[in-house]
Structure 1
């Protein structure tokens, strides 16, 4: 069956198909297929683009799901994926273009050029949304009026998670994996 589009020749159609394929590949290279959040590739690109620049009024948050391994072991990977999807959806509902799934159960939110009060309200809404879905998680949040090294701020937020993780896993033998 031949498809006909007036005014578009065979080579023109090939160009359209090639363009659509490039757009699809671009989307796939920067999106996490499970959550549709941006992925680690896009996160690295954003962090690299901030390299050497002063960033103003910026908030970052790290989120890490607690108990994903236990969920996978006890209820299967489909249940674990549901935890990841529920967390991702809770983020998408509030800050879809500022969020990244950077690891298996790790998420980062970067709010550039946003007032602290607005950033904190949005992050609180995300926390409430995640908690409503019965997902347990620590969140490390940092906000700065001005900074020269975004990577340092991200590391600081990530470090906050491990303090909370240690508390969560305090009475289990899993703690050894979180103590560095």
Structure 2
């Protein structure tokens, strides 16, 4: 998935490096095309209610507009050189902040102010007196009279861009399964690519177009994720299971899993704790190798095996059962500390905490020759009923 999101950036770089004189570079109308792409991203984000992308769009549009009005002159001009030095740094810092801070709702007062800042701060950097004030220097003297000015436009850029790239990669590695972080990284990478291609025709338009396409791919992935991944457990949900069943192999097996006494657990501890149980179970099942786990609905889960070796399946299911049974679930107290620091200090010392253990029942059916997936699923459900009838917290396999 990350490679797909970054594909427009790589394609642009390849076109500029290997076919710099190709007529394709002048065949796209600018500046209209980037704004059309950004409008499509905004429309799709609105339909999906993914409002956080509006901030990225505002920042991307602001940078594009600033590049159009401020960087279309020779870099030998002091104010243009200063803008070339400061604008990517400002945009990089802003993008990092957007990736790590909690973003307000776009329709709220803080959200409107943040949208305004995302767009107008890059545009404001095109004002030469403002740039001079930020640098606290006399631009003509600094950029023209001092030989070290060239360092800031070459090695200085390379140094801080490398630092920010390292931070980005660290952020992506920590949150590697979040497509949104990869989409944000693609936008930053595209903007930085502009400063490497600044002398090319329509460079700002092409990188903005590539960034917009990366955002479209990210939103498309998020749309599929919302449709096929359960938000609570982060496991694929029933719609994804139906797709798997349609391509089920001849030698396969299906297991139905159910949390024991889940309704009673919910009634005793509340639905918030019940959700905590389901999240825990989703985390455990996601870490088990050799099977595909799905949330079937409620407290029921479905495990699909690509083989029907009874002994291996029984061993795997027993391992899952023991993992769940032996996991001590700490119930969250109403008076738990709000800050992580206080919570860490009180860990192991707080009174009134309670640990509970949950159990699961599992019923598995091995696929018979020419058996339809629906019939196999039904037999697995019957095996689950047998496990519950046998006293729960056990595994039953129907061959």
TM-score of Structure 1 vs Structure 2, range by shorter chain: 0.7 to 0.9
Q: Secondary structure at the match of 1:9?
A: helix
Give the TM-score taking structure 2 as reference length.
0.38
Alpha-carbon contact 2:363-2:386 (below 8 Å) kept:
no
3-state SS of paired residue (1:56)? coil
Query: Is residue 295 of structure 2 the alignment partner of residue 101 of structure 1?
Result: yes
Alpha-carbon contact 1:63-1:106 (below 8 Å) kept: yes
Whether 2:192 is the aligned partner of 1:5: answer: yes
Aligned length: 165
* Matched residue, 1:65: 259
- Of residues 239, 253, 263, the one that matches 1:41 is 239
Relative contact order, CA 8 A, sep 6+: which one is greater? 1
Unpaired segments ≥5 residues, structure 2: 1-58, 64-90, 92-190, 195-205, 328-356, 393-399
Alignment of 1:91-170 (within 5 A): 91-95=285-289, 98-113=292-307, 115-133=309-327, 134-144=357-367, 146-166=369-389, 168=391
Flag the structure with higher strand content.
Answer: 1
Secondary structure (helix, strand or coil) at the match of 1:138 reads: strand
Distance 1:125 1:56 in 2: 25
Counterpart secondary structure, 2:221: helix
> Match for 1:31 among 205, 229, 243?
229
Q: Whose radius of gyration is greater, 1 or 2?
A: 2
Classify 1:69/1:47 alpha carbon distance in 2 versus 1 (closer, same or farther; 3 Å): same
Instruction: Decide which structure has greater helix share.
Output: 2
Q: What is residue 17 of structure 1 aligned with on the other side?
A: 215
Q: Give every structure 1 segment of 4 or more consecutive aligned residues whose post-TM-superposition deviation is greater than 6 Å.
A: none
**Structure 1 79/37 Cα, relative in aligned 2: closer, same or farther at 3 Å?**
same
Structure 1 residue runs without a partner (length 5+):
170-180
Distance 1:168 1:29 in 2: 36
Native 8 Å contact 2:317 2:362 kept in 1: no
Structure 1: distance between partners of 2:388 and 2:287: 25
Cα distance 1:29–1:146, how it changes in 2: closer, same or farther (>3 A)?
same
What CA RMSD, in Å, does the superposition of the two structures yield over aligned residues?
Answer: 2.3
Q: TM-score, normalised by structure 1?
A: 0.79
Cα distance 1:118–1:166, how it changes in 2: closer, same or farther (>3 A)?
A: closer
Name the CA shift for 1:97/1:28 in 2 (closer, same or farther; >3 Å).
farther
Moved more, 84-93 or 66-75: 84-93
1:176 counterpart residue number: none
Deviation at 1:137, TM superposition (A): 2.1
